[in-house]
Amino acid sequence: MSSKENKNAFTKTTGTVIAVSAGAATTTGVDALSQLTFTEKLLAGSSARGVAQTLLHPIDVVRTRLQARGVRRDWSPRVFIKGVIPQVVLAVPAGGVQFVAYEWCKQRLTELLLPPASHTKQASTKVTSSGRNHAWRQVVVDLVSGAAGAFAASFIRVPQEVLKQRIQADLYPHIGVALPTILQKEGFGGLYRGYWATVSRDVPWNALSFLFFLQESRLFERIQKRAPNRQENLVLAAIGGATAALMLTPVDVVKTRLMTQGADGTYRGILPTFRRIIAEEGPATLMKGSVPRVMYLAPLAAITLTIYNAIGRKLLEARKRRVVTLAPRFRGIGHGYQVACAKRSLFVFERNLPQCSAQVSYTL
């Protein structure tokens, strides 16, 4: 950082503190939220997922009851809150883990696969061989990061799904009966019944929904000659989530059958369950619950993105001006003060600023 830039960055005050103006982040959208700290990502992610899944729980009940075998078609009002307690209680930590893992993986892959200059590359830049290579690398970053977030959260998500879906399918009246009964009859492993079926559904959905969202955003920019605003981003996210949800409905049907069966284990394995459903009930059964699934996951993507962005941006906004202390100059340095300025502070606010030393000398 040059002397002139230092003078613009630091402002003298009458006391022993100065404010460091960090400026706005150079990245926008979901990318900007990689600047959040671990605690902030945990807070934003858990809040986003918890609120979204709670609001959409009635639609999730409909989807489960349509896909589960032998469930009575009772749609009385009390049915729509079945399984809401495990849904809410476990959605919060699952969301926190998912977004922390997603952002961590995205940041590491970005550092590994994307050159620093690519962070400031404008959308209007002429497409070259290097640009196409960058685009493919960005696709890999987003796909792998989305998948990593879902996989990390699966260790919480699967018990959540088992408990709430068995309650939704009328196998148990509430969590107070469901949890001890499952542990007694099936052991701890019963909470992870259908684990790989859930992973094979959630991991691709997260990866594909992010990919579709990015591709739609790029297409929007090419047509409209501008970046989408917040409302348009929400619509694009909903479309991406809905498309991925529709494609993966057969996997969701198999997962639901594996999770809602009793301890006798009528269905065994993903592929055997696929074949059995097709043989006994026909291929159309694999698309059961597709409408409520799309109605659930499209707004889930939109609501989660809205809340995560809103909380994340508020947290970043609160750090726009950072207060640091002034210390007397060190021996051997010219007149002035030594400003305590951590590397992390500059990186958080300006991704493209060069990393500076822990101490920045500035003559006031």
Angstrom distance (rounded) from CA 299 to CA 238: 6
Angstrom distance (rounded) from CA 82 to CA 54: 12
Instruction: For residues 363 and 298, state if they share a domain.
Output: no
Q: Which residues contact 189 (CB under 8 A, 6 or more apart)?
A: none
Is residue 320 within 8 Å of 22, Cβ to Cβ?
yes
pLDDT in 10s for each residue of the chain, 364 residues: 444 444 444 444 333 444 444 433 345 445 666 788 889 899 999 999 999 999 999 988 988 888 787 787 778 888 899 999 999 999 999 999 999 999 899 889 988 988 665 444 444 444 455 667 777 888 898 899 999 999 999 999 999 999 999 999 889 999 999 999 999 999 999 999 889 888 988 899 988 887 887 778 778 888 998 877 778 878 988 999 999 999 989 988 888 888 777 656 677 778 888 888 898 889 888 898 888 889 888 999 988 877 887 888 788 887 765 544 444 444 444 444 444 444 443 333 333 333 344 444 444 4
User: Which token pair is 274?
Assistant: 């696929």
Instruction: For residues 179 and 231, state if they share a domain.
Output: yes
Angstrom distance (rounded) from CA 6 to CA 152: 42
Burial 33-68 (b: 16+ CB within 10 A, else e): bbbbeeebbbbbbbbbbbbbbeebbebbbbbbbbbb
Instruction: For residues 292 and 150, state if they share a domain.
Output: yes
Identify the domain boundary among 301, 319, 337.
319
Distances (CA, A) of 243 to 66, 138, 205, 208, 227: 20, 21, 9, 9, 22
Is residue 21 within 8 Å of 345, Cβ to Cβ?
no
Instruction: For residues 212 and 280, state if they share a domain.
Output: yes
pLDDT score at 264:
61
Instruction: For residues 350 and 226, state if they share a domain.
Output: no
Instruction: For residues 157 and 290, state if they share a domain.
Output: yes
DSSP 224-249: HSS---HHHHHHHHHHHHHHHHHHTH
Instruction: For residues 17 and 114, state if they share a domain.
Output: no
pLDDT score at 131:
62
Instruction: For residues 293 and 340, state if they share a domain.
Output: no
Is residue 244 within 8 Å of 202, Cβ to Cβ?
no
Geometric angle at alpha carbon 196, from 191 and 198, rounded to 5°: 75
Give residue 136's domain range.
28-319
Instruction: For residues 206 and 263, state if they share a domain.
Output: yes
Distances (CA, A) of 309 to 28, 112, 317: 10, 25, 12
pLDDT score at 31:
62
* Domain CATH code at residue 233: 1.50.40.10
Angstrom distance (rounded) from CA 307 to CA 8: 34
Helices marked H in the chain:
3-9, 38-55, 57-67, 84-113, 129-168, 175-186, 195-224, 230-247, 249-260, 270-281, 290-317, 343-349
pLDDT score at 129:
57
Instruction: For residues 352 and 326, state if they share a domain.
Output: yes
Instruction: For residues 188 and 286, state if they share a domain.
Output: yes
Instruction: For residues 213 and 335, state if they share a domain.
Output: no
Number of domains in the chain: 2
pLDDT score at 262:
61
Q: Which residues contact 53 (CB under 8 A, 6 or more apart)?
A: 60, 87, 88, 91, 95, 300
